[in-house]
Structure 1
């Protein structure tokens, strides 16, 4: 029997004062590529963090003989080589960090030119990783070429798209040439071409001697995976061969209360004739062309899908519509019947826009509760703020409509990923905006919650005149109420 990379025998996994797993047993052997599956909140991300040595283990016995041997082999001159040096975890969160001595970053800064001076570039981020050994499988040149990052090397991290950031973080993980690679929902945010290439990439990773453990959905299990671990409510219920794994049928989605939803959005005539008009808009960051003479108009009540590959400019368009991008002042852009740069403030725009994106979660400071996060939508802040009793009551009403009332007092960062996403949707809706911008809102939703989420949006569109712009790389995620499409071309490398 081969020496296992690691073994957990009846351990308890803790984070602060919370028990995440009790009586956890799991054995990972070299080449035992494993998929972790289960509903949102089952503990997949927590298990990956435990395998990476990031959580406290008590009781039972945890050993890492194979990883320790790999650390000694790959770092023979380092007497302090530890098994964690040969483990790479690519999680779901990618917070932006300024260079030492720089100011704290804020969300809108990703669109400002000064951010380029405060944030490392792609090249600097990758070179900050320890240099691979001379004969390592994954060298700087190889990861940059294989992950399609060559043309992005001068780019500041803060200006990358969601999918580009995903590829970059995977590249940095591979530069460590890990014995164990841990991936949390790795396909989220990747376009169709990148997802299609992912199986081939993992085959190359496995061929280089790396064992892969990833949290994923039943429909996106890579070809190298031969075993599946089912998780439920903080337990590993089964570890079985992939050939024997049968995904559970998704339950019938719980529909939102249409009457309560309509009550939260009183009928009113459209306040604007045009919500947004972009005329020959061109956006650049340095030498990088993001949008090239784009024209587009959004009328009240229209529901759009905004599609295109990673780096095509989808998030940049959203930033223009949401008032976050200062390049709007040099372009011909009209928002809510008013030309940008004619005296309106960014808060005038944001008061009329509801906005959701995966990146927003990274910028909430401290430990605001789900109720506080939803209520923060009234003032468009990224903190608990000082909501009025009436605003808190409205936040509670939206949580109830979305079947999230039991999570109202729970800190957002401790809630399941699906709850976090739906709380951001509720935050976008509390002020009844005429325009709703949803940038990949379904990330983190499991197979049962995806149809529920679409049902919520369809019910919302049926009960209100809200206009919708929906960004996704998955055609199946797009609600039925979406009837119009703007598809962007692939970016030009260079």
Structure 2
């Protein structure tokens, strides 16, 4: 008796092993077997929910496994992977091919623009994002969502419009993802978080059978996360489409996730099954290692499992009346008023036509009412900048780094100088090259524009270059710093990890591997090093640690403040590193730090001053405050910043 069509698996893998290159080919890099003898089924329908999440630390292959599920990578034997349900009459013709039926939405910089399919042109330089809309390829968000992003579209043949997007479907998706007010904006104007919601919306509008979401909550502000999770839950409950998510071990899991795949660090399955069974097994393993009864598996490090299984809470909501005793609507009194101002914004308001994207508020001060953003950053200060997606955080970074054309017309001074000539000042105007030389910057925009053809060494050396593709100008001391950073972060950067015991510690890999060949986490580590290795006056970290697991992130933040002088021991305690010659030091009191993050654990512990921007166009002012300790160590401080109140 043949199984009913709705009981046939959408994805079936039976004892399949996967390779990036053909196992008999002479690949330039190692080509180990991935997910050996994998057996997995994603049912088209079942009596109980099957909502899967792939969990694993950096370099464990989360994205790789999702690519396997969508039909990518070589399968051995080829017949081990199939898509039986797509061959049934229950699936429309347009979805017979796995490439259409199984949609993938990732948020790394390999997505080819907003669409990830090359449908939206990516600019060649950062400032293009902020220019006036005047190119034919400056498609609006609505055009992007509807797929109207071809300059010369082909006429559709009869039967090809069975997947047409109805007005009702479009209205429902954009409302659910809070995109309605952005439909007429060019997609290049969207913030990082808005762009991620747009990618999910685009995928949903294709009405796929399966939607693979690679770390969907990464980089989203807390209010957006608490709103997106219920939306995904409603899709999961209707199985339209079936969802498969990925997450890092420290990421809270939505309550509606029912099944887990936990990956080892060698791209193999560590555990797979119901959420309860997998979490119970992992907790028993951790307890056994900690009590000495079990030997730790080097491919299943215990320190990555400490927080696994936390539940994504929806019990927080913005407070109607934030604690005014802890926050102010105007600038803070500096701890050291004698410290030199490095950034001065006095009444900044950024607008595109009638739309104000930053500074749309009025603040009462002792000197009278002031419009726009007032903000000063001095040497030695460590700032955190927070706010909902679309509140203007990325715009602030673009003003700081002089990528935004309106920098010239706004009341902004960097390093005490304006971008325009100041009569009688005796100072020449500040040039773009002056700013690039004195600000270190890591952000999703830098990630997107960094050439994939640069070597690992080339990415870090780019800190001494004037543009992404310019030749860097390094002296002997700078080269020593690059070598020191590559050795320090070899386990996180080098594919395959650090050299084995007894193996010569060569840095040849840094000249052999291209930026585009390494994992998303390793790319972020390289860009973080690039931002701070030159000891610039201002270090700007915009979501620099998103996509890293706890251990990698903690190593980066410790390196930011201590350089090579401190490290972590086996118990994750900070100890002296024992490095005889420290070539890279941490932040000094001559430098300022500006950090943007949506997760408190991704805020370096040295951050003390903070600014929280309001939801766009509410008229509420930015709020300022000073922390009494590291954000990650106290949930109260995080609630104070966001004005959250437990409900």
What is the RMSD of the two structures over their aligned residues, measured on CA atoms?
A: 3.0
Distance 2:274 2:167 in 1: 29
Give runs of aligned pairs for residues 138-149 of structure 1, distance below 5 A: 139-149=169-179
Gapped regions of structure 2 (runs ≥ 5): 22-26, 149-159, 287-300, 305-337, 360-371, 422-428, 495-508, 564-584, 620-647
1:154 counterpart SS class: coil
- Bigger Rg, which one: 2
Counterpart secondary structure, 1:119 = coil
Kept in 2: contact 1:251–1:448 (CA 8 A): no
1:124 equivalenced with 2:124 (yes/no): no
Point out the structure with the larger helix share: 1
1:109 partnered with 2:128: yes
Contact between 2:346 and 2:412, CA under 8 Å: does it hold in 1?
Answer: yes
Could you report, residue by residue, the CA deviation over 1:399-449 in whole angstroms, capped at 9, with x for unpaired residues?
A: 234455746233222223322111111111232201000001111111322
Report the CA distance shift for 1:282/1:51 in structure 2 as closer, same or farther (over 3 A): same
Contact 2:493–2:526 under 8 Å retained in 1: no
| 8 Å CA contact retained: 1:132, 1:138 | no
Structure 1 residues 438 and 179: alpha-carbon distance in aligned structure 2, compared to 1, 3 A threshold = same
Greater relative contact order, per chain length (Cα 8 Å cut-off, separation 6+) = 1
After superposition, give the CA deviation of every residue in 1:57-104 in whole Å (9 maximum; x if it has no partner). 3425111112333xx53425x5x8423322111012343379999895
Compute the TM-score of the two structures, normalised by the length of structure 1: 0.87
SS in 2 for 1:48: helix
In the alignment, which residue of structure 2 is the partner of 1:177? 207
Aligned residues of 1:374 and 1:423 also touching (Cα < 8 A): yes
Matches of 2:344 and 2:165 in 1, distance apart?
54
Aligned to 1:296: 375
CA shift for structure 1 position 362: 1.8
Tell me how far apart the structure 1 counterparts of residues 561 and 483 of structure 2 sit (CA, whole Å): 21
Contact 2:114 2:199 in 1 (8 A): no
- Counterpart secondary structure, 1:362: helix
Give the direction of change, closer, same or farther, for the CA distance of 1:286–1:58 in structure 2 (3 Å limit): farther
| Alpha-carbon distance change, 332 to 251 in structure 1, aligned in 2, over 3 angstroms | farther
Q: Is the 8 A contact 2:535 2:587 kept in 1?
A: no
Q: What is aligned with 2:274?
A: 241
Out of 337, 340, 348, the position equivalent to 1:273 is: 340
Given the alignment, which residue of 224, 234, 248 partners 2:256? 224
Deviations 1:252-311 (A, max 9, x none): 69xxxxxxxxxxxxxxxxx98221000100001233211121010000110000010000
Q: CA deviation at 1:224?
A: 2.1
- Corresponding residue pairs, total: 473
Taking a change above 3 Å as real, the CA distance of residues 51 and 373 of structure 1, as seen in their structure-2 partners, is same
Find out whether 1:486 has 2:611 as its counterpart: yes
Q: 1:243 to 1:251 in 2, by over 3 A?
A: closer
Gaps of 5+ in 1: 254-270
Give the distance between the partners of 2:387 and 2:437, measured in 1 at CA: 28
- Quote how far apart the aligned CAs of 1:243 are: 1.1
Map 1:448-459 → 2, pairs under 5 A:
448-459=551-562
- The equivalent of 1:87 in structure 2 is 102
Q: Secondary structure at the match of 1:73?
A: coil
Match of 1:49 among 67, 73, 91: 67
Residue 128 of structure 1 and its aligned partner are, at CA, apart by 0.4
Q: Does 1:413 align with 2:516?
A: yes
C-alpha deviation, 1:453, in angstroms: 2.7
C-alpha distance after superposition, 1:314-363 (max 9, x if no partner): 01001111111110111110001101223321111010000001232221
Deviation at 1:131, TM superposition (A): 6.7
Deviations 1:180-234 (A, max 9, x none): 1100010011111111122211122123322111111243222221111011211
Task: Please give the alpha-carbon distance, in whole angstroms, between the structure 2 residues aligned to 1:462 and 1:383.
Answer: 27
The Cα shift of 1:110 comes to 0.8
